[in-house]
Structure 1
Amino acid sequence: MGRPHLLFVPYPAQGHVMPIMELAHNLVDLGFKITVANPESTHNRLVASTSNNVDEEDHIHMVAIPDGIETGKDIHEDVEKLYDAMEILMPRHLEDQIRKINESNNSDDRITCIITDEHMGWVFVVAKKMSIRGVAFWPASAVQLALKLRIPKLIEDGIITSEDGTVTKHQLIHLSPTVPAMSTAHFMWQCMATSAFQQKTIFELLVRNNRRINLADYLICNSFYELEPTTFSLVPNMKPLGPFFGSGRLAQFWPEDLTCLSWLDQQPPRSVIYVAFGSLTVFDKRQIEELALGLELSGQPFLWVVRPDLIDGGTDVFPDGFEARVASRGRMICWAPQREVLVHPSIACFLSHCGWNSIMEGLSVGVPFLCWPFFYDQPLNKAYICDVWKIGIGFNQDESGIISREEIQTKIVALLANAEIKGNALKLKEIAMKNVSREGASSKNFEEFVQWLKI
């Protein structure tokens, strides 16, 4: 009998590709054969950013699904075109790809299950049509899925409109008594949209995916019970398998700068501020300058991930003379091997946008957070970090909406001196690692999931 053959279809965004590829590699280690089907534009980025042989590595085979996105364009530059492709173009090409894979293998090697991001609801339609089992993977916090599934109740209660999810009145809501208050201004369909038409497009897709998730045979997520204990009662069929540690293998949109690890080797223990804002955050010039000067004022060594597109409308990122002044203790790179960086003994804290992958990687190694959220789930994630788990602190904006250099310096100094937060971070690390240990709850859920895949 051949190796059980699984098809992975990630959502085309860095924060979605990384955890689902980690799951893929974990399953490869257990004897599964895996094909990963990415939209063509994403596939090309992954191939370009890795020096490994991406065609066949550890029984993972990478294939491309035509998406109609112009070569060299970012797939998210035109959200409407991307969503049209997922609804019209890509389902047909995915069906063709599955038939091609199955025809090239013997009966024991054909695809038996498709694992896809919950945001890719159209894939469950294809799976059901082709009589293949489907697994929904949710890459963010469990509470965000609970919120999304609550859209019909939000409409019924008059909190949002049924047409495009527009908030009728800005307010704070609670999904349950123990979940932090959530601002209606931070609902995902509003944060992700840049126009009313785009908001309507995104909202309609979320509503469709709420229906399509019922086509999935299994629902898993990157979390663990103690992290969001009451949330799992809101989505009782969801099984947490986390924490996942974002895989650098076949998952990065930019080449990782591994030289930063040798630079970290030269820094004192627990001294370096690691600064990274994920793959989508964009700063204006004034705010990026305040951040740079705040890091300089702190007097601490720092490693700062500065993507080529981090600043809005230009490449002139740093204030005059900044790079020369911090040359002895500051390192700026394009993209980091984040897991290896966070576990390094020289890291003191993580100045983060509070994306879910970054949170899971940081808390799993006991690193405290400086929280700088921007959109989507990040403000609520910050509330968990600062108010529930108490493993970090946030920044305050001034009257003009800017986080000043003085505020950045003050909060860095305060966090590094806070023994209670450091202690809480280490306690949460122990809980996280216990979950993925042999007898841990996440580990047991994973074992049950593996046995289900083998049926």
Structure 2
Amino acid sequence: MGAQTHVLVIPFPAQGHVAPLMKLAHQIADYGIKVTFVNTEFIHEKIVFALPENNEKQMMKLVSIPDGLGPEDDRNNAFKLTESILRVMPGHLRALIENINMLGKEEEITCVIADLSFGWALEVVGEMGIKQTGFCPFSPSALALSLQIPNLIEAGIIDENGIPLENGLIRLSIDLPPWNSNELTWSCPGDLTTQKVFFNYTSSISQAAKLSNWILCNSSYEIDPSAFDLIPNVLPIGPLLASNVISHHAGSLWPEDSTCLSWLDTQPTGSVVYVAFRSFTIFSKKQVEELALGLEKTGRPFLWVVMSELSYGKIVEYPEGYVERVAKFGKIVEWAPQEKVLAHPSIACFLSHCGWNSTIEALTMGVPFLCWPYFADQFHNRNYICNVWKIGLRLDLGEDGIILRNEIKDKIGRLLCDYGIRENSLKLKETARNSISEIGSSKRNLECFIDQIKN
């Protein structure tokens, strides 16, 4: 029997990286291509645990390799996780591929799609003579910034540790919104150790891009043409949606609470404020309290996703009597099926951290934003949302760097009365949807990629 196309997919071990790559992997499998999806053992266990009981038969094989850390280790420690990954995972990935290839010609890995944050994986498969494809799970503008790091250092704009040499704006082109010098994708004000880890990872993306035969990006050319003009060899194939694949489960690391969908069914059209910061966002007890009271003061229905990580890994403490007071018009869940929530007609707006997955999902559903970025590319995504696409408003910090309850209440009120933002949101929704239609640019790019890896 002759060899068939067999794609191995490996994401960086974090929710915002696993989910879009799994959506892409499902789409590739829907073309009849064999797919093996590789997670770390830690992430693999979470995904298997989170699979719904009625999950459809998987269209791909899920496997795992060690990340070198034990179950007791803190994987939020960026330095420790990075060191362990680079020390342990390359050898395990090579062994995995060799073991698969030994099963016969029909099983051989013919292409590897690796997160651009995992440039080492592209090096490994390049040495093995396998086609290399980089995947960008973040915004195209963030990718453009990463590719320009050597030029920014040479021009004296940042030093070799990524620290800006002058305060002000950093601009890559006249058509791209500039970056504030303290809001670069690797910026961690007050934590230079973590910032150095993030900068090294971001810098490595430039080399990973050079190793890639193709770079796939979770966006469309029509959404951000100026950024894509700065990225060579790129194929925009987004927005990637779970609803566009046969198996709708797309890499959630936590079980989804579907009761929020039946609750949304009971709410008036365009009435509910959806609040979700997804993973990694951490608030102080005071900030959680201000957010809770701000939502209460609106008097509007709200759906709030609250994870334990939201407050430094501790059980979130609400103001006294809060849960009982808001029970008639608010619902709080630990994790939600976000695409289905954003697509629900009762949703009025999205209070978001502006991570790229959340951004691309909400704009594809035509939902306006209230922006509350936390780190990485989220600040620049906010600039797009508020200043370029004009589909949302920003929340401003008050006393002691806290966003206060009245700011939250007032901005929600302003957002829901801004018909210009609503109109812009619906126009961008149409643009995004058109790109993944049967004749859309992203659909054509994906089919072009499929054809090339089959040959």
What TM-score, normalized to structure 1? 0.95
What is aligned with 1:189?
186
Deviations 1:110-163 (A, max 9, x none): 11000010000000111111111011000111110111111111111212111x
The answer as to whether partners of 1:282 and 1:309 remain within 8 angstroms in 2 is yes
The answer as to whether partners of 1:3 and 1:31 remain within 8 angstroms in 2 is no
The answer as to 2:210 corresponding to 1:211 is no
Query: Gaps (5+ residues) in structure 2?
Result: none
Q: Alpha-carbon deviation of 1:175?
A: 1.2
Q: Aligned with 1:273: secondary structure?
A: strand
What is aligned with 2:364?
364
What is aligned with 1:97?
96
Query: Gaps (5+ residues) in structure 1?
Result: none
Counterpart mapping for 1:336-347 below 5 A: 336-347=336-347
What is aligned with 1:45?
46
CA distance 1:377–1:166, shift in 2 (3 Å): same
The answer as to whether partners of 1:173 and 1:181 remain within 8 angstroms in 2 is yes
Q: Aligned with 1:400: secondary structure?
A: helix
What is aligned with 2:37?
36
Q: Matches of 1:276 and 1:3 in 2, distance apart?
A: 41
Q: Matches of 2:73 and 2:271 in 1, distance apart?
A: 39
Residue range with higher mean Cα deviation, 291-300 or 224-233: 224-233
Q: Matches of 1:333 and 1:59 in 2, distance apart?
A: 29
Deviations 1:406-450 (A, max 9, x none): 111111111111111111111111111110011111111111011
What is aligned with 1:235?
231
Q: Matches of 1:243 and 1:131 in 2, distance apart?
A: 30
What is aligned with 2:443?
443
> Which of the residues 213, 222, 226 maps onto 2:222?
226
Q: Matches of 2:54 and 2:100 in 1, distance apart?
A: 20
Q: Aligned with 2:145: secondary structure?
A: helix
Q: Matches of 1:189 and 1:246 in 2, distance apart?
A: 29
Deviations 1:15-56 (A, max 9, x none): 0111110000111111011111111111122122224599x9
The answer as to whether partners of 1:273 and 1:302 remain within 8 angstroms in 2 is yes
CA distance 1:217–1:313, shift in 2 (3 Å): closer
What is aligned with 1:351?
351
CA distance 1:365–1:212, shift in 2 (3 Å): closer
Q: Alpha-carbon deviation of 1:314?
A: 2.9
Q: Percent identity?
A: 46
What TM-score, normalized to structure 2? 0.95
What is aligned with 1:380?
380
Q: Matches of 1:32 and 1:441 in 2, distance apart?
A: 21
Counterpart mapping for 1:29-428 below 5 A: 29-51=30-52, 57-71=57-71, 73-75=73-75, 77-104=76-103, 106-162=104-160, 164-191=161-188, 195-245=191-241, 249-312=249-312, 314-428=314-428
Q: Alpha-carbon deviation of 1:72?
A: 5.0
The answer as to whether partners of 1:124 and 1:213 remain within 8 angstroms in 2 is no
- The number of residues matched between the two structures is 450
Deviations 1:285-333 (A, max 9, x none): 1111111111001011000000011113631421111100000010000
The answer as to whether partners of 2:364 and 2:432 remain within 8 angstroms in 1 is yes
Q: Alpha-carbon deviation of 1:195?
A: 3.8
Counterpart mapping for 1:3-22 below 5 A: 3-22=4-23
CA distance 1:414–1:267, shift in 2 (3 Å): same
